[in-house]
Amino acid sequence: MNALFQFSRLYSDLRVAEVKLVCCFVREFPSAFTHWFRSISRVGVERLFLSFECPGLVPICDSSKLLKFSLENLSQASSLEHLFLSHCVVLPSPQVHFNSLTTLALRAVVLKCRHLECILSSCSNLEKLTIEHSKLPYKLRLAGTIKEVAFWWCDGWKEIDLHAPYLHTLECMVWKKVRFFFSFVPMLENVTVCPRWSTSYLFGHHARVLDYQVKSLTLGVFADEVNYSPVEIPTEMEMFRSLRTLSLTLISNYEILQLVEPSELLGACPLLQNFNLMVVINKSRRINDVRGSTRPPPRCHDKLKQVRFGGFYGTESEMRFALYVLATAPALERMFISPGYKNYFSSAPQTEFNLSFDEAKRNSIQQKLHGRAASRKAVVIVQ
């Protein structure tokens, strides 16, 4: 504590780029730390990182032992632009206004009812909000100047009402069923949603007004129970028929015997220009199909220009998908095929980036796809 107070005295009224404090004994000296928090707010800190993580304590399960941190402790932090809080109960202060704060990141925190709304109202220039592995109230309402929002694997929340006129990007990774209400988001263009299970999210009726607005949609689909039928097309895509960019990640613990039906998938987005498909198998390898399926007739996807296919191993279903795209996309310019993938919805070790085919496998795939494109401009790149 003496060292902390000496630091705050030494740098008082000076500009400091970043202060980072990680400790687990704050609750043993609450008054001393409260005093230090207030003194550090008088230092010209631009980025402040405060983590109160204690071994074995899981905030989502037990919040009774967490430090209760009031934003009032930082009331004099007039230069603070980026704030990161971890492992605490965040208490808002309606009387305090953080006009300089542009980024707020909360990890493993607990937010009570309307606390988040109060915090957002206190940050008149906040642009980016990230909340991960935290306990949230049943209902959330996002408003204010926020432009980018990310919720990663939070618990407790069931509904979120988006009433943010400047919101541009929304990312949500959800554990349980969450209903989204797009009440007023006139600038929303990028939406990313991944469920823990196949029915973990639901877009409210207001999502239909986003038809001509959202340009990029990224969906994660879990396919653990897939047998010989194609992965079910997410119905949410039908609400975004004006998409220009679609990224679909199929996540499974076992082999995916059939991919999504390409005619239905691409037909749901008639204006699609860029399509990214990632196949992520967590435990076992892919195997070839052993049964056929009844497919709808092919459609012409005349806007499609670029396709990326990651997690590709050359199974029959994967080759059929690639051949279908080549044959039905007359404006196609580039198709990238690679066994490597990026799982946007996981920070686990199975996320891989730099895999590549051996020469024999690359040549075999290239030969099967050669000359099959309807577009004269199409270039197939097998990595």
Q: In angstroms, how far is the first alpha carbon of the chain from the final one?
A: 55
pLDDT of residue 106: 94
Q: Which residue has the higher pLDDT, 20 or 30?
A: 20
Sign of the torsion formed by the C-alpha atoms of 71, 73, 77 and 83: negative
Report yes or no: 233 and 261 within 8 Å, Cβ to Cβ: yes
Provide the β-strand partners of residue 306: 274, 334
Report yes or no: 306 and 334 within 8 Å, Cβ to Cβ: yes
pLDDT of residue 107: 93
Q: Which residue has the higher pLDDT, 47 or 199?
A: 47
- pLDDT tens-digit map of 296-321: 677 889 999 999 998 888 888 888 88
Q: How far apart are the C-alpha atoms of 369 and 337, rounded to whole Å?
A: 11
Q: How far apart are the C-alpha atoms of 157 and 131, rounded to whole Å?
A: 12
Report yes or no: 289 and 259 within 8 Å, Cβ to Cβ: no
Domains and CATH numbers, the chain: 1-135 (3.80.10), 223-383 (no CATH)
